Amino acid sequence: MGARRSARFLARSAAGVLAAAAVTVGVAVPASAAPLWPGGPDISLPPIPGITAPAPGVPTPPVAPPAPVEAPRGPANFSAPALNPSAGEVVGVAQPIIVRFAAPIDDRAVAERAIDVTTSAGDVAGRFFWFSDSQVRWRPDVFWPANTTVTVTAGDASSTFTVGDAIVTTADDDTKTITVTRNGEVVRTMPTSMGKVGHETPNGTYIVGERFRDMYMDSSTYGVPVDAPEGYRTYVEYATRMSNSGIFVHAAPWSVDSQGVENVSHGCLNVSTEDAKWFFETAQKGDPVVVQNTDGGILNGRDGLGDWQL
């Protein structure tokens, strides 16, 4: 507001100066005018380039202030970026808004001004963070209010999605237990086994991503050959991704005796088949999974599902 107020003040001041100049030159004083009083100053003025005095008796036309110039709302290549979540999706309370542009953005501040986020819950404070010159993300400062409608517009693109119930999962290495709440009420408690020594599960707030009814987990995907001493290729069921680095909540019937007792996984949250199936069917995209009290450091905020560390 201060910048706009100053701009308007300067525009009015400039208009006043121009108007005053027009009135002055409108006097049509001869080149060698007499003083207004004996010994007084000569009131003759030098001509002002580009301004011609009107004829005597002709009123001076008003001088309009210059039209304000509005700052551009977005860069030239800001048409129809891809938006995530897409229209109609239902997501969890930790889900960020992801805007992917068709081309790199030169002026990030201009791009941010062209992105609007509104909610049915009123104003929700949040901030932008850039993953690259062609991808910016926005998330609230705290989790979204549950059961809220959110609309994001960016350039020519728009998406309206819904934040569902607040399903918050906490995995605590002190108790080796996973606790799931829905809108503040505990709905399930599950014993777990997390990452063993050398593969400790990082602490932090993860975001639920894709889900697989079954899949093969392969150590070669992060650089450890399957035939190496620490290598593996294991079939698992009910796998719910919580990091792009390969951490899942999944069924591990082979470690049931260790769940709730000791950590034996390569970083994933091992649970029973029954608990894994329940979580697979209950968790939704964007739900937070908070891991705490491990020796695994902090989840990388650039993981892609680690936005809450940024």
Let me know if 184 is a catalytic residue. no
CB contact set of 44 (below 8 Å; sequence gap of 6+): 29, 30, 31, 32, 33
Let me know if 126 is a catalytic residue. no
- Could you give the CA distance from residue 237 to residue 215 in angstroms, rounded to a whole number? 7
Catalytic site residue from 241, 250, 266, 285: 250
Which has the closest alpha carbon to 287: 300, 299, 305?
A: 305
Cα distance between the two ends of the chain: 29
Could you say which DSSP state residue 141 is in? S
Catalytic site residue from 97, 98, 152, 268: 268
Let me know: does 300 contact 309? Beta carbons within 8 Å.
yes
Q: What angle do CA 266, 245, 263 make, to 5 degrees?
A: 20
- Could you give the CA distance from residue 137 to residue 174 in angstroms, rounded to a whole number? 33
Let me know: does 166 contact 182? Beta carbons within 8 Å.
yes
User: Mind telling me the catalytic residues?
Assistant: 250, 268
